[in-house]
Amino acid sequence: MYIRPLTGHVTDHFIAGALDRGVDVYLCGPPEMVESGRQHVAKLVLSPANIHFEQFAPASEASSLA
């Protein structure tokens, strides 16, 4: 049986019924992606205490993010 891989943005696959209030979400990536993901999962009734994230950028941009 062939299962089609998921494509697109990962947040396209987070739906309200798939995440319960006890789940923790970990996001890691470029600042814009992390912020978009954080906003999306916050809309799914997750507590901010259950959303963990780390933003990263190339070293050449690090000084502008500090």
CA distance 35 to 30: 9
45-65 pLDDT per residue, tens: 778 888 899 999 888 775 655
Strand locations in 1-66 (E): 25-29, 51-55
Q: Report which of 11, 17, 13 is spatially closest to residue 32, judged by C-alpha positions.
A: 11
Task: Check: pTM over 0.75? Answer yes or no.
Answer: no
End-to-end CA distance of the chain: 49
24-43 pLDDT per residue, tens: 889 999 999 899 888 888 88
